[in-house]
Structures are given as C-alpha cells and as structure tokens.
Amino acid sequence: MKTTYNVFVISDSSGQTGTAIAKTAAAQFPEAYANITQYPFIRTKSILTGILRLAKEKQAIIFHTLVNSELSDMVTQYADENHLFSFDCIQKPIEIISKRLNESSAAVPGLVHDLNAAYFKRIDAIEFTVANDDGRHPENLAKADIVILGVSRTSKTPLSLYLANESYKVANVPIGPNLQLPQEVWDLNPKKVFGLTNSIGKLQEIRIQRMKEYGIENDTRYSNADNIKKELDYAQHLYQKIGCLCINVADKSIEETASIITESLPHVTGPQQ
C-alpha cells in the first residue's frame, strides 16, 4: 500500500506554477502518493492563517508562489515554527532577476494567468468561510451552503476550509452546554446543517495534546472525561432536536467527513454561483 502525504500549493495567482513544481518533484517518488491541494488567489493574512493552520493539522508539505514578500515570509516563518516542510517557488527567482537587472520587481500577483469564474468562486468561498469561522457573524448562516456544528476540537475549522476549497461557502458554530446557540440556526434547512461528534477518549486525547502545546496542566475541566461526556451528550441531543445529520469523526479523515457532507446535501444544493 502506497504511503500518502499531503501537499499544499498556496498562491496569490492560479497556483499552476507551484502545482507543476510539486507534481514534478512528487513524480520522483512513485511508491508514495502525493495528495495535492491548491489554494489559489490567497492575498490576505486572515485567509492565509486559516490555510496554514489546516496545513499543520494535516502535516502538509507547502509549496508557495506568493509574490507578496510579507505573505511569503509569513508562510516560511509559520512552517519553521511548526516543523513543517515548505518551499518558496517564486521569491528566489524574483530576487535573482532583480539583482541581474538592478531593479525592483512589479510585485503584482496574477500577471501570468488569466482569472476565470471557477477560481473566483473558490476564492469567494474561502473568504466567506474564514470570515464566518468559529461562530462569527451568525447573521450570515443563511448565506452558507453548509453549516457545521461541534464541540471544541472536533475539527470544525479544518473541515470548513477543506470544503471551501471545493467552492462551498461554509460557516461553523461552536456548541456546548454553556454556549449560547445563535437563534439563526433554528431557521436553517436542517439538511444543510451537520453536527460533528467524537469518542470521549479520542476527544480527551486531542484536548490534552492541545493544552500541552500551550504549557497547561492536563487535569482541567476542558480535558476531563466526565465533562467531555456531558458536552457530547448535549451535542447529540441538540442534533436530534435540529434534525440534522450527526457525523462521528473519531476514525474519519477530513476527506471522508467532507465526502459524507457533500453527498448528503439536497440535490438542488451546491456551491453557490
């Protein structure tokens, strides 16, 4: 069975250059499978931050072609700090040509490739998803193609970004016994709402690891098994009340969960045009 590894191509244009380089390099390792995901037209720090977090979650190798040196440096720094492998495909060539000509580059993204509707739709979906992450702007829930609910650390944000890259506008909302659920949730078509759950043991393991990263002791209410059970019981009851599909992500990859969601959407529903 082939080893599978993730590769993210992040670009402020179409991403074709970075993808070509990544595919050329990956072809030299025929016994492994490179799962290459493109993130084109990335031109803001907020969107880039969300993608980098997802890269960390999936331990992805990052190839980036960001003409904006500030964004490029942001990728490199994040990769170094989080022990990710990354390769800057454009800044070094720009630097070499700049030195040879003794002049500065135009630093304008997208001069090589024409924009098309598919790319615009995808970037629009990514921008919407980042803006409506973690319960922000509940007034926009009705505009989403997909709404994801879940207690803390059920992979709501990485899943949302994965779906956004497929051109779905996604909003995710954190839930819990002590959190106020936005009233707007009750006005949604339950068929576009998806509730995430997990096993007590798996969720406890994830939360303990998360706290270790912040230098916090393990024995807290956040990672307590009894408290996690109460949260998951609350979530299960809420999903039943809403009438939405509940997905246990304990043994599922983000790709598998995303596939379940897209296949469960009403036939008339798809990425917004």
pLDDT along the chain (273 residues), means of 10: 91 86 93 92 88 94 93 96 94 88 70 61 89 95 98 94 93 96 97 97 91 78 94 98 97 92 76 48
The answer to the question of whether 49 is labelled as a binding residue is: no
Reduced to 3 states (helix: H, G, I; strand: E, B; else coil), residue 112 is: coil
Reduced to 3 states (helix: H, G, I; strand: E, B; else coil), residue 137 is: coil
Which pLDDT score, from 0 to 100, does residue 212 have?
81
Cβ-count burial 83-99 (b if 16+ within 10 Å, e if not): ebebbbbbbeebeeeee
Which pLDDT score, from 0 to 100, does residue 110 have?
55
Are 229 and 176 contacting, i.e. CB atoms less than 8 angstroms apart?
Answer: no
Q: What angle in degrees, to the nearest 10, is found between the helix axes of 156-164 and 254-264? A: 60
The answer to the question of whether 150 is labelled as a binding residue is: yes
Chain center to CA of 118:
19
> Can you tell me the distance from the alpha carbon of 25 to that of 37, in angstroms, rounded to the nearest whole number?
15
The answer to the question of whether 197 is labelled as a binding residue is: no
Residues in the chain: 273
Q: Nearest to residue 169, comparing CAs of 120, 126, 137? A: 126
The answer to the question of whether 195 is labelled as a binding residue is: no
Which pLDDT score, from 0 to 100, does residue 269 have?
44
59 torsion bin: left (phi>0), alpha (psi -120 to 50), beta (else): left
> Can you tell me the distance from the alpha carbon of 142 to that of 122, in angstroms, rounded to the nearest whole number?
19
Which pLDDT score, from 0 to 100, does residue 270 have?
46
The answer to the question of whether 110 is labelled as a binding residue is: no
The answer to the question of whether 75 is labelled as a binding residue is: no
Which pLDDT score, from 0 to 100, does residue 44 have?
87
DSSP bridge partners of 237 = none
Q: For residue 81, what are its two tokens?
A: 């700090």
Q: Nearest to residue 93, comparing CAs of 81, 85, 84, 101? A: 101
> Can you tell me the distance from the alpha carbon of 148 to that of 230, in angstroms, rounded to the nearest whole number?
20
The answer to the question of whether 17 is labelled as a binding residue is: no
> Can you tell me the distance from the alpha carbon of 72 to that of 25, in angstroms, rounded to the nearest whole number?
21
The answer to the question of whether 152 is labelled as a binding residue is: yes
